[in-house]
Structure 1
């Protein structure tokens, strides 16, 4: 059992070396019906993630060093749609350890964002920036988000570079960070779905190790209980 635990610890440590992970956990909100008028949620041109169709988004996130005006760097926004009301979810962001970055993830209801001036201004600025980069209808966009009643959330990611270099250009223009954004639903609101195969594997190994250790223990007891062989004496 100790050997198995050590192997699992080594796997976790190797993952930690190769990549960093930050996440936020939340419950799916009640479904909402947004008015089908312009400008609508679809007009924001946000990248969208869904638990079944598009749970993973491979992207590059712009970053900047913390400043008084932006202590948490650059803000980017994403749409989480087709959620299940009351179900637990988590959004993880994974990025290489070779690109030191601090991330903050927050999930907001649509109503809360629209009623908060600071959040709506940040969302509008990001949407306007995206309009110049990708035209509406590109992959992973939020088409159809406001066409029916569904559970929606807006995800804000803040990214700040967290390293120091003597290269002035690198300090003034930090490169974008390669990242995977993952929307992961929980099974029975207990365990993330992506971890279910790992949990099943560990359980099978643990049960096998339990029976194997019991067999070895009984075998050692049987050997210990055997009488020592008698020695013949020659007169």
Structure 2
């Protein structure tokens, strides 16, 4: 998965659990190794997973470096390339999943779960880049709202002040 600086990295994947024929009660974890390429050094990223609520699934995500990945080489890695000219690096993301629901019958395997993996660079190390347009529109809406509401508030306050001044003049003239 490669985050281009102008767009967010997205990957739709499906994990299937292997058949369970050894008599164990629980369905085993399914693993998928994803290579995160094109990461800029010293940048921070957010990884999000989205999956249907109708498929309750427990996920375990682990970011691995080159040394930690050799234990998981039995899984076929998913690889996406970035076309970036600046210095980049890569990491490995190990995604483990298993069903997270109770069923009256013993499952030998669970239905496949399709999920979307989103890799979003953090602007200023804090805000996901995908949030910046929303914040821009929110700031614009606040400015437009203030330009519409402030004159009304000013007119209302002027009216109140004018009324109070008239009362003061009447009191002084008596």
The TM-score bracket by the shorter chain reads: 0.7 to 0.9
Tell me the alpha carbon deviations over residues 5-42 of structure 1, each in whole angstroms, 9 at most, x when there is no partner: xxxxxxxxxxxxxxxxxxxxxxxxxxxxxxxxxxxxxx
Alignment partner, residue 89 of structure 1? 45
1:112 corresponds to which of 68, 75, 78: 68
Aligned partners of 1:220 and 1:100: how far apart in 2? 54
Aligned partners of 1:71 and 1:176: how far apart in 2? 12
For the Cα contact (< 8 Å) 1:72–1:158, is it kept in 2?
Answer: no
Alignment partner, residue 73 of structure 2? 124
1:99 equivalenced with 2:55 (yes/no) = yes
Alignment partner, residue 183 of structure 1? 119
1:173 CA displacement: 2.2
Aligned length: 154
Normalising by the residue count of structure 1, what TM-score does the alignment of the two structures yield?
A: 0.55
* Residues 86 and 71 of structure 1, relative CA distance in 2, 3 Å threshold: farther
* Residues 213 and 56 of structure 1, relative CA distance in 2, 3 Å threshold: same
1:224 CA displacement: 3.0
* Residues 227 and 108 of structure 1, relative CA distance in 2, 3 Å threshold: same
Unmatched 5+ residue regions in structure 1? Answer: 1-48, 115-119, 131-139, 229-235
Aligned partners of 1:63 and 1:202: how far apart in 2? 43
For the Cα contact (< 8 Å) 1:75–1:158, is it kept in 2?
Answer: yes
| RMSD (CA atoms) | 3.3
Higher alpha-carbon Rg: 2
For the Cα contact (< 8 Å) 1:51–1:82, is it kept in 2?
Answer: yes
* Residues 206 and 95 of structure 1, relative CA distance in 2, 3 Å threshold: same
* Residues 84 and 143 of structure 1, relative CA distance in 2, 3 Å threshold: closer
1:210 equivalenced with 2:164 (yes/no) = no
Aligned partners of 1:224 and 1:63: how far apart in 2? 71
Alignment partner, residue 51 of structure 1? 3
Alignment partner, residue 156 of structure 1? 94
